[in-house]
Amino acid sequence: MTVIDSPPPAGARHLDKEALRRKYAEERAKRLRADGNDQYLQIRGRFSHYLDDPYTPMQPRLPKTDHVTFAFIGGGFAGLVTGARLVEAGVKDVRIIEKGGDFGGTWYWNRYPGAQCDTASMVYMPLLEETGHMPTEKYAHAPEILAQCQRIGKQYGLYDNALFHTQVEELRWDEGRRVWVVKTNRGDAFTAQFIGMGTGPLHVPKLPGIPGIESFRGHSFHTSRWDYAYTGGDPLGAPLDKLADKRVAIIGTGATSVQIVPHLAKTCGQLYVVQRTPSSVDVRANAPIDPEWFASIATPGWQLRWLENFTENQAGGIAEVDLVQDGWTDLSRRIRTKILQLPPDQMTPPNMLAAYEDSDFEKMEEIRARVNEIVSETETADKLKAWYRQLCKRPCFHDAYLQAFNNPNVQLLDTDGKGVERITETGIVVAGVEYPVDCIIYASGFEVGTEHQRRAGFDAVGRGGEKLSEHWADGMRTKHGIHVHGFPNAFLVQPTQGANLISNVPHNLTESGRTIAMMVAHALAGGHQEIEVTKAAEDAWVELLLSGPGLLIGSNECTPGYYNNEGQDRGPAARTYVGYPAGPVAYFRYLDKWRNAGTFDGLEFR
Ligand code: NDP
């Protein structure tokens, strides 16, 4: 019998690696489909009500036709941290443009029951030290994170000039006036000397393209627009009491669904959890933060120390202590330990990759064994096991998700990689069986692999009328993931081509925000009207990125998902979606040195 049929207990592992590789490949093959990203429906036309904002009524206002020093597109963490640093640097008129009704970005939209951060609050929540906020839990829940966004907005005066419920439709560099012209869906047509873009990777919800989806006559909504009026309860955790007599199907079992299911399980009359691919669900171990302990560690500079320590532990460094101690740092420690066990003369790249694979097999075996320990029904437990390398999909951490399947009102509808067959007027069809339901909740995720301009809602037009999509036709081109040649005074705030630290995205954003504020302050102090990266510097940066190891797990090994463009080849462009070759720790050190040198090598100030 192989390990696949019956994993040996922890500590007595003999892994049949070939059998595991075969199993992973089989499960992948079941899920590969020719339509890739096109399997999903873009939410528009008759589906557009799925995008309505259930949280804040839209306020009428007059269009803006003025000029600001800095306009930032996106009011999530990226806009807030950049805005805060700009205000600290003396820029008084920062205008944030946000499609939601308040600040918060993903934390504005995602108010579903159980929403909480998956990376420890101490490093995930931005500007804790500056705002003096102590997170209440190791993993804060969504209302607290949203309140932190609002706190930043208030403390730095970012509300005064913000435009909410507003989407940028046109962004164009005016060469004569040396300003950006910003036009929006609210009739605004104003100018900005500098522009920031922090539109986030996961903000456009998508629906699964299941045949018959439009015919359903019951209630339905997407997780990013939670309908508390229908379900009862609230984002603070009040029970979803209106579902007591309802049959509910939640479609999707990604990171969102894993957080929601325990709450639905508590109250729904009947809950169907519809699964195409199981998530890997590791221990969460949330706990309240003790104010006394917090006061003892929160000495000046504490958050940067914690950020650097997390990054060092998580992203390849060798730190003496692990302050955060969670699933992310555990994952990295295991890989590191395996690699360090190699004899010095065998420390070759193939051996290191093999050690990484071994550590991954062991971790996934533990995660599968955890399913057996928690889920009482063997058949259900087997279906909840993930058969792929851990980082092929977003790792999940939860202490109530698997337990929910022991509730008598919860049924797992596993589709064996195929997805829901059909939606009818009254229910969903899985493997030929129709399950009547009152409500369908789409936990089907967000657009990732679609064109950047479709997700952003605009295609920036730079010098000489060149569009950003044209500049990036063969892949992304930047310096530091921030500057683009031909797009003067424009700054991107996102991880790719910078640290690319996925386990703690806000760390990337705060570092970019700080850097941008320093460059803008330098330009304003020197009376410069333009900052632009030279072509040579952009080329050199891209060349440096391409000299790196690329992706450690090839997407042709992974089960499809948004991490790997649904298993489809993205062509040569994919090679550019990488980070600094020496890793995040080295990148942050490099960037700090670069910006503090004050010469901003590779940029021209005019
Ligand atoms: P995902 O894209 O991760 O999940 C979508 C789910 O829908 C998958 O399980 C997918 O299956 C399933 N699905 C798609 N089509 C069908 C179909 N036809 N039939 C049945 N199932 C289908 O979206 P999420 O919203 O869960 O998460 C997106 C990302 O948001 C996360 O990866 C994470 O980065 C972030 N997030 C972060 C959180 C945090 O930090 N606290 C919390 C929640 C989300 P399949 O896997 O087979 O494609």
- Please name which of 323, 309, 250, 357 lies closest in space to residue 588, comparing C-alpha atoms: 309
DSSP one-letter string for 42-94? ES-GGGGGGG--SSSPPPP-PPP--EEEEEEE--SHHHHHHHHHHHHTT---E
pLDDT at 433 over 50: yes
Distance CA 591, CA 600 (A): 10
Mean pLDDT lowest among 90-94, 480-484, 572-576: 572-576
Distance CA 434, CA 272 (A): 12
Mean pLDDT computed over every residue of the chain: 93
Mean pLDDT lowest among 198-202, 238-242, 428-432, 480-484: 198-202
Residue closest via CA to ligand 1's atom 32 equals 394
pLDDT at 46 over 90: no
- Average pLDDT of the segment spanning 131-155: 98
Residue 391 in contact with residue 553, Cβ under 8 Å? yes
Q: Specify the DSSP class assigned to residue 449.
A: S
pLDDT at 441 over 60: yes
Q: Provide the pLDDT for residue 2.
A: 35
Q: Specify the DSSP class assigned to residue 238.
A: -
Give per-residue pLDDT as tens, 444-480. Answer: 999 887 777 778 889 999 999 999 999 999 999 999 9
Mean pLDDT lowest among 28-42, 264-278, 317-331, 455-469: 317-331
Confidence of residue 12 (pLDDT cuts 50, 70, 90): very low
- Average pLDDT of the segment spanning 395-410: 97
Distance CA 418, CA 436 (A): 20
Residue 421 in contact with residue 306, Cβ under 8 Å? no
Confidence of residue 553 (pLDDT cuts 50, 70, 90): low
- Average pLDDT of the segment spanning 387-413: 96
For ligand 1, what atom is nearest to the CA of residue 31? Answer: 47
The pick from 35, 121, 444 for probing ligand 1's pocket by mutation, whose C-beta has the most ligand atoms within 8 angstroms, reads 444
End-to-end CA distance of the chain: 70
For the chain, the domains span 32-49+205-279+393-442, 67-202+448-605
Q: Which residues contact 234 (CB under 8 A, 6 or more apart)?
A: 228
At 286 the three-state DSSP class reads coil
**Residue 239: CB atoms within 10 Å:** 15
Q: How far is the CA of 117 from the centre of ligand 1 (A)?
A: 15
Contacts 24+ apart (CB under 8 A), 372-375: 372/7, 374/402, 374/403, 374/406, 375/402, 375/403, 375/405, 375/406
- Average pLDDT of the segment spanning 273-288: 97
Residue 421 in contact with residue 431, Cβ under 8 Å? yes
DSSP one-letter string for 61-74? -PPP--EEEEEEE-
Distance CA 298, CA 296 (A): 6
- In the chain, % helix, strand, coil (3-state, to 5) comes to 40, 15, 45
Q: Specify the DSSP class assigned to residue 214.
A: G
Give me the residues paired with residue 440 across strands.
Answer: 220, 249
Q: Provide the pLDDT for residue 551.
A: 65
Q: Provide the pLDDT for residue 10.
A: 45
Confidence of residue 11 (pLDDT cuts 50, 70, 90): very low
The pick from 109, 144, 391, 394 for probing ligand 1's pocket by mutation, whose C-beta has the most ligand atoms within 8 angstroms, reads 394
pLDDT at 259 over 90: yes
Q: How far is the CA of 307 from the centre of ligand 1 (A)?
A: 27
Query: Would you tell me which CATH number, out of the four given (3.50.50.60, 3.30.450.30, 3.40.50.1260, 2.60.40.10), belongs to the domain 32-49+205-279+393-442?
Result: 3.50.50.60
Q: How far is the CA of 100 from the centre of ligand 1 (A)?
A: 21
Residue closest via CA to ligand 1's atom 17 equals 419
Distance CA 50, CA 208 (A): 13
- Average pLDDT of the segment spanning 42-47: 88
Residue 206 in contact with residue 446, Cβ under 8 Å? yes
Confidence of residue 4 (pLDDT cuts 50, 70, 90): very low
Q: Provide the pLDDT for residue 555.
A: 64
In this predicted model, which residue has the larger pLDDT, 43 or 460? Answer: 460
Q: How far is the CA of 198 from the centre of ligand 1 (A)?
A: 22
Q: Provide the pLDDT for residue 552.
A: 63
Residue closest via CA to ligand 1's atom 25 equals 445
Q: Provide the pLDDT for residue 5.
A: 40
Q: Provide the pLDDT for residue 255.
A: 97
DSSP one-letter string for 247-270? EEEEE--SHHHHHHHHHHHHH-SE
Length of the chain, please? 606
pLDDT at 554 over 60: yes
CATH 4.10.110.10 fits 67-202+448-605, yes or no: no
Give per-residue pLDDT as tens, 511-520. Answer: 999 999 999 9
The pick from 125, 137, 253 for probing ligand 1's pocket by mutation, whose C-beta has the most ligand atoms within 8 angstroms, reads 253
Tell the burial category of 445 from Cβ atoms under 10 Å away from its Cβ (0-12, 13-18, 19+): buried
pLDDT at 537 over 60: yes
Fold: same for 32-49+205-279+393-442 and 67-202+448-605: yes
Q: Which residues have C-beta atoms less than 6 Å from ligand 1?
A: 31, 116-118, 202, 208, 210, 251-257, 259, 274, 276-277, 394, 415, 419-420, 443-446, 561-562
Residue closest via CA to ligand 1's atom 37 equals 255
Q: Provide the pLDDT for residue 388.
A: 96
